[in-house]
Structures are given as C-alpha cells and as structure tokens.
Amino acid sequence: MKSEHQRVFFALWPAPELAGCLHALGAPFSGRPMPEDSLHLTLAFLGEVSPAQIELLCEIAAGLSLPRCGLRIDQLGYWPHNRILWAGPGQLPEGLQRFVAELHEALRAAGFALEARAFRAHITLQRKAEDPGFDICEAPALILPVASWCLAASQAEGAGSRYRVLQSWPAA
C-alpha cells in the first residue's frame, strides 16, 4: 500500500459562532468567500509531508506550550498581489508571538522549510476578492479565545480546499 503525502499546517481554529461572525465581516465585499467551517489562522504552513514527518510534527508540537489568551481580531485587510481579503489582529499578544517564534524555530531545527516572509497573523475571509479600496482598516473587534491549536491537512476540492484536523493540543 502506497503511503500518501499530505499538505499540512498548524493553526488556530475559531469556534463555529465566532467563525460565523468572521464570515459576516467579509460578506459586504465581492470575492469568493471561504466556507465558515474552513476559517482558521495559520501558525505555520509546511506543505507536502510524509506520514513519518506528520509523526515528527506531532512530537514537536507536544513539546511546545501555547499560552491561553484572547486574540483581538480588529482589522480587515486586502492583499492585492493574491487578491485576499483577511481579518486579523492589530497587535499579537506577546505570549502568542513568542509561541509562534518557538514553533517556527523548532520546525526549522527539525529540517522543515517555512516561508521566508515574516509571520502575519490573519484569517483569510475571501479569495479572488475585488479591491475593497483599502489595504488595512479598522474592523469591529472580535475575540478569538486561544484555548487550543492543531495540525490540519488540506485537500483540494473543487475550486477550494477541504481541511481536516489531524491532531490538536490544549493551550496551557
């Protein structure tokens, strides 16, 4: 039997009620909205990995401690280069910022390649979005309770992707 590689990423996943509120933030704009149940905040994208690497990723994650906090989502933004409408925090809590740095460092030390660009906490609300006329603007504040984090897999499905949580860990 051939073992399958999977596209994986570490993420924070909002509860369904908050996902509905986030989805509503993007509703007034034109683009391809992300399904509510797929809204997430990526902590680290790893791309295609083998089953053995997934085991290693779970071991790495088990050795880290994400601090509980409330992440204030208070900005809407638009990236014209890839036509993404997103929501995110104006400021990342210090504990979460430190955790992301530790996660990235541990992943690189284990030989995983991460994007070279700096981490920018965001939740993609729409793809193929039409220019809303701003780069970043203030949004009604929503609080994402950071109580757990997960390793998820992405599988292409139609015009988008379907996500499946492989493993999750509680925040400390």
40 is an active site residue: yes
pTM of the model: 0.94
Range list of β-strands (E), 53-159: 69-79, 84-88, 123-127, 136-146, 148-157
Catalytic option among 5, 81, 104, 122 = 122
DSSP-based three-state secondary structure for 99: helix
Residue labelled with tokens 């740095």:
101
Give the model's pLDDT for residue 3.
58
User: Tokens in use for 111?
Assistant: 């030989």
* Residue 4 pLDDT > 90: no
Give the model's pLDDT for residue 116.
85
Catalytic option among 5, 40, 81, 104 = 40
Look at strands 6-12 and 123-127 and give their pairing: unpaired
CA dihedral sign of residues 116, 118, 124, 126: negative
81 is an active site residue: no
Predicted confidence (pLDDT) per residue in 65-89, tens digit? 999 999 999 999 999 999 999 999 9
Identity of the amino acid at 53:
Q
Predicted confidence (pLDDT) per residue in 82-120, tens digit? 999 999 999 999 999 999 999 999 999 999 999 888 899
DSSP-based three-state secondary structure for 4: coil
Give the model's pLDDT for residue 1.
40
CB 88 within 8 A of CB 77: yes
**CB neighbourhood size of 123 (10 A):** 26
Q: What share of the chain is helix, strand, coil (3-state, %, to 5)?
A: 25, 40, 35
CA end-to-end span of the chain, whole Å?
39
- Across the range 53-71, mean pLDDT stands at 97
Residue (of 45, 94, 37) closest to 71 by Cα position? 94
- Across the range 28-49, mean pLDDT stands at 96
Identify the band that residue 48 occupies on the pLDDT scale cut at 50, 70 and 90.
very high
Predicted confidence (pLDDT) per residue in 125-163, tens digit? 999 999 999 999 999 999 999 999 999 999 877 767 889
